Structure 1
Amino acid sequence: MPPKAAKQAPPLYEVSERVLCFHGPLLYEAKVLEIKNPGEPGASYSYKVHYKGWKSSWDEWVPQDRVLGWNDENLQKQKELREEHNPKKKVEKDKKPAHAEEPVVPTVRGQKRAREMDMDKEEDFIKRHEIKLNVPEIIKSLLVDDWENVTKNGTLVKLPRDITVTMFLNDYFESTETSYPSGSQQRQSYEEIIQGLRAYFDKCLGTMLLYRFERDQYNEIKKEYPDKNMCDLYGTEHLLRLFVTMPELIAHTNMDTQAVNALRDHLDNIMLFISRNHEKYILSEYEQLLKYSQ
């Protein structure tokens, strides 16, 4: 008798199941909408997920390794990632945070847990503001790789970067010359956006964009280059983190709808430029820097 064909193992998660899903470096509550069978024994399923509190336009198909079960261990992991990605929470209550675009969140009394409060705050941002970036899949993948390199592999971006944020933005600006020649209104708009991104990066890097494992390196590089801006020391790896934080930052500015839409379009174009040239601007391997080991 011919051998029996190997059976495909059942999916780890079911339709309508509550799960946690990576989107960039953070974990978000999600619900499984559909399951795609890979058709080959041993291969992983794919899941279409809906992020709680997010518009359905953010629904997406994700590989199995981006989905985690809803349990205490993974909820603790979600909390730890939020803390690592939001060092601003360490700011003393009686001090104004450096990133003034975001208000200080007041302490809420009652029985609501901190995790639920964080999720409610995130949902409020989505509901109140029509800000959505078209993040290419390759950019999402690069952000996850970046998170794993630092938090799981214990490696860091070697600084100063050969191609800094300033160099990258200059390259991008020059690439728009053929479409928007010097003197045009669109060209002037691009220049203003790029100047603003440099300012945002310098302001937000130390308070919002670093993981806990990078703080010693950040302090050392500031001492070593006291007269340089951060955009002249760090590279596009950290700039990507700023882009996915921008919707939250913009939500707390008084920019009008037209200005917000223009900024969103510019950010979409810049991310497309990175996705097409990521081998040049994004490190493929980080380095183990022993002097920053803890």
Structure 2
Amino acid sequence: MFILIFSESDMAPPTKKYQQNDKVLCSHGQYWYLAKIVDVQDEKSDNPVYTIHYQGWKKTHDEKIPHSETPERFKEYSEDALKEATEQQKQGSQAASKKRPRKSENEIDIPHTLRKILIDDNDCINRQFKVHKLPVRYTVQDILDEYAKDFETRGIKKEAESDITEGESVNDQVLIIYENGEITASAYKFILGAEGIKDYFNTLLPYQLLYKFERPQYQEVSKGAETKGRKSQEAKPKLPSDIYGIVHLLRLFSRLGSVLKLTPWDSKVRSIINEVCRDFLVFMETHKDRFFDVNKDYQSTTSEYQKQVWSM
């Protein structure tokens, strides 16, 4: 682990503006890399946006960085600074190779094809400055509804609770049932545990499942949903599960392991939850091409929207 110590001048408000073709050291993760400014947008404004290209990296890794973030992201280029940064990268790589990552019992394995969706999503939002078209084509609620129907295609139909003896095994389907605030394992033909995933999703999305660049959009959509909900006494504001879809659901799964650590449940209950999650992920992987299309599901943002983000 490396501790970067900044002087007072490093922490001062940004004053120097950079020009196209300037070389800088740019932070990416925990290290600094040689980069070149290949474009400058809004050059005459107080907060121009720099497009930087990392030397030796593919163009897909180019980033747009507003001037207001340069004190944390940029270092002045010099041969000595580059040598120091390269040495830190080398030492970090050697240290990482000696450590074998330990997998948490709560960690949820996300298939590679679904992880690629998260990678594409990160690129669209944080590099291309796009946002999702909301509500999405297939919301979390839509996905859960189709997941429920999928059990019928597998020959597994939901039966009345009274028809099944507690603890009985039905087609080897283990499900999660909520009773008095606790989770118990019972045998049913229909996985009700997916509703628990939706509850987690609706609770965590505003706080942990959004990028900074998405927050103004969420605030606007939330206001619109509340306004529509108040037009009728029976109408209710839309929940995040009625607005967002597979991408944000996958973000939840990537964090679910750390969330489960905070619960008082024993290893047996967590094992059941993992079983439900694995089955649900297999379903999403099978239908991922319907639920997600990188060419259809995003829209560009205006310069006004981007300025709103950078001012937050």
Partner SS for 1:72: strand
In the alignment, does 2:149 pair up with 1:136?
A: no
Q: What letter is aligned with 1:160?
A: P
Contact (CA 8 Å) 2:118, 2:250: kept in 1 or not? yes
Partner SS for 1:255: coil
1:199-214 to structure 2, matched below 5 A, reads: 199-214=199-214
Partner SS for 1:205: helix
Instruction: Tell me: CA distance 1:153–1:192, structure 2 relative to 1, closer, same or farther (3 Å).
Output: same
Identify the residue that residue 32 of structure 2 maps to in structure 1: 72
After TM superposition, the score normalised by the length of structure 2 is 0.52
Shift, 1:179, TM fit: 4.3
Instruction: Tell me: CA distance 1:180–1:256, structure 2 relative to 1, closer, same or farther (3 Å).
Output: farther
Partner SS for 1:284: coil
**Seq. identity, %:** 25
Mapped to 1, the partners of 2:102 and 2:239 lie a distance apart of 32
Contact (CA 8 Å) 1:180, 1:187: kept in 2 or not? no
Shift, 1:274, TM fit: 1.6
Partner SS for 2:218: helix
Mapped to 2, the partners of 1:235 and 1:155 lie a distance apart of 16
Identify the residue that residue 144 of structure 2 maps to in structure 1: 169
Identify the residue that residue 55 of structure 1 maps to in structure 2: none
Contact (CA 8 Å) 1:181, 1:187: kept in 2 or not? no
Gaps of 5+ in 2: 2-27, 35-98, 165-169, 177-189, 227-236, 308-312
In the alignment, does 2:134 pair up with 1:159?
A: yes
> Please, what is the CA RMSD of the aligned residues?
3.0
Instruction: Tell me: CA distance 1:237–1:257, structure 2 relative to 1, closer, same or farther (3 Å).
Output: same
Shift, 1:265, TM fit: 1.4
Identify the residue that residue 192 of structure 1 maps to in structure 2: 192
1:1-294 to structure 2, matched below 5 A, reads: 71-73=31-33, 129-177=104-152, 178-183=154-159, 186=173, 189=176, 191-226=191-226, 227-285=237-295, 286-290=298-302, 292-294=305-307
Gaps of 5+ in 1: 1-17, 19-67, 75-122
Mapped to 1, the partners of 2:256 and 2:29 lie a distance apart of 29
Mapped to 1, the partners of 2:33 and 2:220 lie a distance apart of 34
Mapped to 1, the partners of 2:116 and 2:138 lie a distance apart of 21
Mapped to 2, the partners of 1:126 and 1:260 lie a distance apart of 18
Shift, 1:187, TM fit: 7.3
Shift, 1:126, TM fit: 5.9
Identify the residue that residue 229 of structure 2 maps to in structure 1: none
Contact (CA 8 Å) 1:149, 1:156: kept in 2 or not? yes
Mapped to 2, the partners of 1:221 and 1:126 lie a distance apart of 40
Contact (CA 8 Å) 2:110, 2:253: kept in 1 or not? no
- The superposition leaves residues 189-246 of structure 1 with CA deviations (integer Å, 9 ceiling, x where unpaired) of 3543111111111110010010000000010000000111110011111111001100
Shift, 1:292, TM fit: 3.1
Q: What letter is aligned with 1:283?
A: D
Q: What letter is aligned with 1:237?
A: V
Shift, 1:132, TM fit: 3.0
Partner SS for 2:299: coil
Mapped to 2, the partners of 1:152 and 1:197 lie a distance apart of 29
Larger radius of gyration: 2
Mapped to 1, the partners of 2:142 and 2:29 lie a distance apart of 41
Mapped to 1, the partners of 2:150 and 2:278 lie a distance apart of 15
Contact (CA 8 Å) 2:201, 2:240: kept in 1 or not? yes
- The superposition leaves residues 10-40 of structure 1 with CA deviations (integer Å, 9 ceiling, x where unpaired) of xxxxxxxx9xxxxxxxxxxxxxxxxxxxxxx
Contact (CA 8 Å) 1:154, 1:288: kept in 2 or not? yes
Which segment is superposed worse, 226-235 or 185-194? 185-194
Instruction: Tell me: CA distance 1:180–1:292, structure 2 relative to 1, closer, same or farther (3 Å).
Output: farther
Shift, 1:133, TM fit: 2.2
Shift, 1:273, TM fit: 1.6
Across the two proteins, how many residue pairs are aligned to each other?
A: 180
Q: What letter is aligned with 1:275?
A: E
Greater strand share, structure number = 2
Instruction: Tell me: CA distance 1:72–1:196, structure 2 relative to 1, closer, same or farther (3 Å).
Output: same
- The superposition leaves residues 100-156 of structure 1 with CA deviations (integer Å, 9 ceiling, x where unpaired) of xxxxxxxxxxxxxxxxxxxxxxx9x967x5223232110111111111111111011
Mapped to 2, the partners of 1:187 and 1:289 lie a distance apart of 45
Mapped to 2, the partners of 1:70 and 1:204 lie a distance apart of 26
- The superposition leaves residues 44-97 of structure 1 with CA deviations (integer Å, 9 ceiling, x where unpaired) of xxxxxxxxxxxxxxxxxxxxxxxx8973349xxxxxxxxxxxxxxxxxxxxxxx
